[in-house]
Structure 1
Amino acid sequence: MNINLFMLLLVFAAFGLVIWAQFRVKGSFKKWSKVRASSGMTGYEVARRILDDHGLHDVGVEPVRGQLTDHYDPITRTVRLSEPVYHSDSISAISVASHECGHAIQHKEAYGALVLRHRMFPVSNFASGIAPFLLIGGLLLGASDLFGLGILLYAVAVAFQVVTLPVEFNASSRARAIMVNEGFIRNEEERGVGKVLNAAALTYVASTLYALLELFRFVLLFLSSDE
């Protein structure tokens, strides 16, 4: 089998994994959003408690529209929780809230991977925006220099995704430990927390794998064009 065709098949398989991972995270969130946490605390209450316990009294907690739109904003130093998380006392809600607080704690402690990610963001944002146009233009015009530049910029965007992995895994690890230590969950509830956080982590792994395979495919196309 031609290696370019083989890589294309791998890319399609990885794309399928991305779609499956997205369905899984939504399914896990929906399932465990129906299970009330024994602590009875809402996502907001858990977030506020974690932040205060770690001396982050100046970090705000705000609701944001949508579902699975939860994130930590390092610029305004705000944990933003989707409304289903902010107001709910479910396993899903407190798991997500704890995870986002994990990012706020990383920021306070200047966690290495997070610092690197923040520094890479402006360049990665620019690169991911322009790389597709250079890649497509290079292929259509048969301009190898243009295509090569597109590959370099795309590689920057992929590197950003790779750096994101330890940031997300570390935030989830912190969240689990905090939830157990603070008594937000009981032992039998750890399974649900794991399901929610692992499903979310899988989406990052799948997306990164897809991006890496795409990068390798572009490199092979570039090398074959020079033959």
Structure 2
Amino acid sequence: MQGSNGPGRRGAWGVVAVVLLIGVHLLRGGTDALRADGPPQPLAAAAPDTAGAVPAAVPDAAPGPLPASPPVRVRVPALRVDAPVARVGLDADGWIEAPPPRERALAGWFTGAVTPGERGTAVVVGHVDTPEGRGVFYDLGALAKGRQVEIARADGRTAVFTVYGIELVPKDGFPAARVYGSTGLPELRLITCGGPYAPDGGYAGNVVVSARLTAVRSR
């Protein structure tokens, strides 16, 4: 399943299969000083509706899917995040790569998924913390439903996504089919580490933000 299709061309179930094989052990490293208090964690009420209902936080009118174009920046205004986006794939051990450990202000777009704004589920990852301090997605767990995530694309468009779910999921037994499966619409997942931290095993879970394309504008 690795590398047979280029960026933006892997189907949703191809992404699911890869994640099921590699897990979501994606972000390691950090500082014990930061972990004494820990990053904010999502509230149970912020989790996405799993019953298939249209998310209340998402407007009824939404644009259609965009053509493929790689992301260049991710912005989360509510968290004051404005970061460049690099391409990440799989490392030598078969895990989703994270940005370099000392690049705490850099996010990574997983090239095994679609580009943000295409039909399907795009995936952007980032560190929660690094040896240098707080990572780009340190506050991700504090995000609220209805907030926006902006992805600036190489084609000059900005894809605007509205958040409809924030949840903490375990790395063991990660619900890949639910998180990565296509809804038939352009969606985005932001992912970082979360949950309890153990020095010998790292963070026990992942914070996952689910968002849907609701606007497109020229950069």
| Bigger Rg, which one | 1
Task: Name whichever structure is richer in helix by fraction.
Answer: 1
